[in-house]
Structure 1
Amino acid sequence: MANVDSTVGTVMMSFSWIFYQRPAKGLKPEDKLDYQSSLTSAPGAFTAAGIPPSLSLEKILQNETASPCSIVDLLNYLRFIEHSPEHLEFYLWHEDYVKRFDALTEEEKARSPAWESTKPAVPGKETSSAVSTIRSTSTVSRGSSFDDKDRSSFNSKKPSTIGDEFLSQPFRAEITQIIARYIAPGGARELNISSRDRELAMQALSYTTHPSAVFHLKIDCENYIRHQSHPNFIRWVIANCTEPRMNFAYSLGATLLIFGVLTSLLLTLSSAPRAWRLFGAFFWASGSIMLICAWKGICLVLMAMGHRRLLEPWEIASNDLEDDKASVTNSSFDDVIPDTWDDAPWMIRDKKKPWVRRVFADTVPVEDSEVRWLQDVILIQGLGLAIVSTLPFLAVFMAIPPANLL
């Protein structure tokens, strides 16, 4: 019996591609992991349906995937599509911060003890003063940058009640910048977190610069990326064309469907042999597969060119817009993201392009083999659905006798 079940399971897995569905959109509340559950279970245990193991979030964060599914592509997707790069930025910063903190000497580590969530709300007068100072120096406007002026500002505003132990904690200046950038209200990359988590982080960072002080924020960021951004990103990278090209494919597919119906109808009304009506079925099938693939973001022409994809507007370099170049090549901790996305240089340049250039833009190869495989699966599914939809079409028109009207 066990052998039979094993054989059936193997067969089902072999044909699972027939029923493949892209990852669903949105965040499922029942799948969320909170801070406490993350201490006893691995956040990485969840992977949304439709995402193969080779495209898991862990693989992307470890830089084991290729374009268009690399970590740089994920960051650009969060920047330019979801407009929420701060979650990945903070997650990557915390991962790097843990490594740098662990590299400190034991004496330096001792100045910043680990934070425990059971600590009192107000540890003491000194820490309370530190919270006030952090609040007063951590409210910045969107688009501001951090440099030595921030450090001098922090040092000039510190009250005398803050002890040397607080100021001598390792990475205190950097933590002040992180608070201003990601945690404080109005920060340049303010995280989408609850007021309770914000207060907890501010309280913890007023006590220590240990990575555990903001570990719960890292969990929140990973939770958001894993359950919402990552599935949406995989759904997005499977598509090989931009919206203008997709709309063009919709229009062409619909045109072929209409042409197929008209062709078969005219041949039916004429005295032509019934076999000629197959021409109408050919146009019907071609339009069907084009519409089905376009619905899933696949352009048949780009597939026929050898798994190529259209360049996104922000990926196209401009010789006369140096700032726009920087927006693509800068590190994840830059300030090039505009307040209004309609004012972004790449978007302005893209809107000025003629419609034809937006549809037939430059292409690049799809490098990741798993993405190419998923595109092939969708293409085969589209072909199968097109054949199935053509059979009733043939049954209707082939059964009608010639009208001999034309």
Structure 2
Amino acid sequence: MSSKLLQKFRVWLLLERDWSSVSLSTVLDGHTCQPISRREFRLYLQHREHSLENMLFHEWYLDYLNKWDELPLPLRAKSPAPPPMSFLHVSIPLDPQEGFFRSQSGSTDNLVLPEVWTPSIYTTEDAKFKDSIDAISQPFRPEVEQILSTFFIPGSDQELNLPYNIKDHVLKSAVKTTHPNVFKPVHDHVLRTMEQQSLQSFLTVAHGNINIKGIIFRYVMSTLFFLSILVILLVAHFMHMSRWFRIAVFPFTFFLVFTLISARAGTCFFKVPSRRRYLHDYEMCEIGRLSAFEEWDVKSMVKEWTTIADPALLRYNKALAIRALTLATSIAVLFTIVMVAIPY
């Protein structure tokens, strides 16, 4: 309980960010709006993280499962599930309350974590399985071969970044069967990567309504406010002025803290009421690419994309502005009182 309270306190103090309301499933299922929608996440993976192949494989796998479920049973029988593989449970830092790995009931009792597979050790049963299958007549064989060359062959443009044992399992099993279970360990690994790494980085960048230039500008202004405070205190000290003169540090302290919070959060609080924002680099890359085609109205696109439409993000920004205002005022008042109370 104490750790949860401490975490909430750190979030309130803006030392940590809380993205518990946004999971990978909500983004990929289209339940979020810009600037944290599926489209922006896709652009982030493509232009910033250069790992779009993870999302592409996820989309293909879900489509493949749907097509497989629609097959008649006789066709499915031609491509049975691959033999079970021996595997080791490896401790993986995973929040059981988050995203795709959360059970539907909300309890963690029935939680199934993705396994880290070891290379197959084929038994006599496996050998019989190999010999009894006619791979050519299997459903979706051309599609599986295309997927192997796209995501698994070394050197391909969209090669997945996979552990050797998982890739080895797929390449060996896919030769003899096109069953979706062949690719399940890959899908689990891809989801885990997007949930634990890509999504967190994306949300940290995407929630801000200013770009890197705006952040640098705020840090520069914070430095100027800090220097102004020093000048006031030094002048009051060496000129033997009344200590009430030090009250002048209040506005500079307020704007120092307020600007630092704005820079750290990547958010301009004056833009919060207007629901506007600056575009990030991965969005500008896409706009630059589309501007080469005359049928795209780039100005209208920029105007549309600079609008913050996600309700959760709008609430987050408003709460962030209130917390920043409260913290800046409190710190400025306390600091001013201390400075005035200190004698010459």
CA contact (8 A) 1:239 1:296 kept: yes
Mapped pair 1:194 → 2:147: no
1:31 corresponds to = none
Mapped pair 1:373 → 2:315: yes
CA contact (8 A) 1:257 1:288 kept: no
TM superposition score normalised by structure 1: 0.63
Distance 1:364 1:320, change over 3 A: closer
Say which of 46, 50, 53 aligns to 1:83.
50
Distance 1:319 1:93, change over 3 A: closer
Say which of 358, 362, 387 aligns to 2:329.
387
CA contact (8 A) 1:121 1:203 kept: no
Mapped pair 1:108 → 2:108: no
1:298 corresponds to = 267
1:345-387 per-residue CA deviation (whole Å, 9 max, x = no partner) reads xxxxxxxxxxxxxxxx998222111112222333333333323
Say which of 214, 222, 238 aligns to 1:245.
214
Distance 1:125 1:116, change over 3 A: closer
CA contact (8 A) 2:40 2:283 kept: no
Alpha-carbon deviation of 1:200? 0.4
Number of positions where the alignment pairs a residue of Structure 1 with one of Structure 2 = 298
Alignment partners' CA distance in 1, 2:45 and 2:205: 11
Mapped pair 1:266 → 2:231: no
1:315 corresponds to = 283
Distance 1:325 1:371, change over 3 A: farther
1:36-57 per-residue CA deviation (whole Å, 9 max, x = no partner) reads xxxxxxxxxxxxxx2233x122
2:147 corresponds to = 178
Distance 1:325 1:222, change over 3 A: farther
1:18 corresponds to = 12
Alpha-carbon deviation of 1:324? 12
Could you tell me which amino acid in structure 2 is paired with residue 322 of structure 1? A
Mapped pair 1:67 → 2:34: yes
Percent same amino acid at aligned positions?
24
Where structure 1 has 5 or more consecutive residues not aligned to the other structure, the ranges are 6-10, 24-49, 129-162, 329-360
Alignment partners' CA distance in 2, 1:254 and 1:325: 46
RMSD: 3.7
TM superposition score normalised by structure 2: 0.73
CA contact (8 A) 1:239 1:297 kept: yes
SS of structure 2 residue aligned to 1:322: coil
1:52 corresponds to = 20
1:122-173 per-residue CA deviation (whole Å, 9 max, x = no partner) reads 8559969xxxxxxxxxxxxxxxxxxxxxxxxxxxxxxxxxx9x322322222
SS of structure 1 residue aligned to 2:306: strand
Could you tell me which amino acid in structure 2 is paired with residue 306 of structure 1? S
Alignment partners' CA distance in 2, 1:170 and 1:57: 31
1:270-326 per-residue CA deviation (whole Å, 9 max, x = no partner) reads 6876555433310221121111221122223333x5232211234243489527999
Alignment partners' CA distance in 1, 2:135 and 2:290: 48
CA contact (8 A) 1:310 1:362 kept: no
1:270-281 matches, within 5 Å, as: 277-281=246-250
Alignment partners' CA distance in 1, 2:295 and 2:168: 38
2:341 corresponds to = 399
Could you tell me which amino acid in structure 2 is paired with residue 86 of structure 1? E
Alignment partners' CA distance in 1, 2:63 and 2:294: 27
Alignment partners' CA distance in 2, 1:15 and 1:126: 58
1:229-277 per-residue CA deviation (whole Å, 9 max, x = no partner) reads 2222222222222212111111112212222332454356568765554
Alignment partners' CA distance in 1, 2:71 and 2:15: 47
Could you tell me which amino acid in structure 2 is paired with residue 109 of structure 1? R
CA contact (8 A) 1:171 1:209 kept: yes
Alignment partners' CA distance in 1, 2:161 and 2:331: 45
Mapped pair 1:207 → 2:182: no
Where structure 2 has 5 or more consecutive residues not aligned to the other structure, the ranges are 86-119
Alignment partners' CA distance in 2, 1:229 and 1:315: 16
